[in-house]
Structure formats: structure tokens, C-alpha cells
């Protein structure tokens, strides 16, 4: 899951950069090819799809990590607070 989340995040950044560059090129250069508007629209659609995929993967990753942390905390809870104070708790 970590690899998929990283891949989706990296792809999202690249697709967003490409979409922004395509939009800037359209505004500044006014390209005339007929496929240009389709490519610009497709790059923004890809950015949106990758954003949704990354958000879902990241939410699942966080849920999994919280579950693992919670189970580790439950196992160690009894050893963390001893009944009798230790030597370092007493004043000198």
C-alpha cells in the first residue's frame, strides 16, 4: 500500500504540473492544433482522477497505521506505568 500511495502521489504531482503547463501554454502561445484542447482537458481529468486515487489510498494507509499503533500501545500499556516508583522518581 505504501508503494501505491507514493506512486499515486508522484503521478499526481507530474500530471498537475503537465496540466498547468498545458494551460499556461494555451494562454501564452495560443496553439492551433485541433488536438490541443483535448490534451489540455485530458491532463486536468487525469489530475482529478489521480487526486481521488491518492486521497483514498492515503486514507486507507493512515487507517492501517493507526490500527497498528493502537494495537502496539495496547500491548505495552501494562509495562509503561509500574505500581511502585522507580529510583529515578525519588528526589535526591
Query: What percent of the chain is modeled with pLDDT above 90?
Result: 55
Give the CA angle between residues 53, 57, 60 to the nearest 5°. 145
Identify the pLDDT of residue 67: 84
Model pTM score: 0.70
70 — pLDDT class (breaks 50, 70, 90): confident
Identify the pLDDT of residue 57: 95
DSSP code string of 20-80: HHHHHHHHHH----TTHHHHHHHHHHHHHHHHHHHHHHHHHHHHHHHHHHHHHHHHHHHHH
Lowest mean pLDDT among 20-24, 33-37, 52-56, 65-69: 65-69
Amino acid at each position: 500500500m505504501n508503494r501505491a500511495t507514493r506512486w499515486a502521489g508522484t503521478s499526481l504531482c507530474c500530471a498537475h504540473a503537465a496540466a498547468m503547463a498545458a494551460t499556461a501554454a494555451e494562454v501564452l502561445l495560443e496553439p492551433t492544433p485541433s488536438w490541443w484542447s483535448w490534451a489540455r482537458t485530458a491532463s486536468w481529468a487525469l489530475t482529478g482522477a489521480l487526486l481521488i486515487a491518492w486521497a483514498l489510498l492515503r486514507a486507507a494507509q493512515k487507517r492501517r497505521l493507526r490500527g497498528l499503533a493502537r494495537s502496539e500501545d495496547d500491548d505495552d500499556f501494562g509495562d509503561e506505568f509500574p505500581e511502585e516508583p522507580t529510583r529515578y522518581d525519588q528526589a535526591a
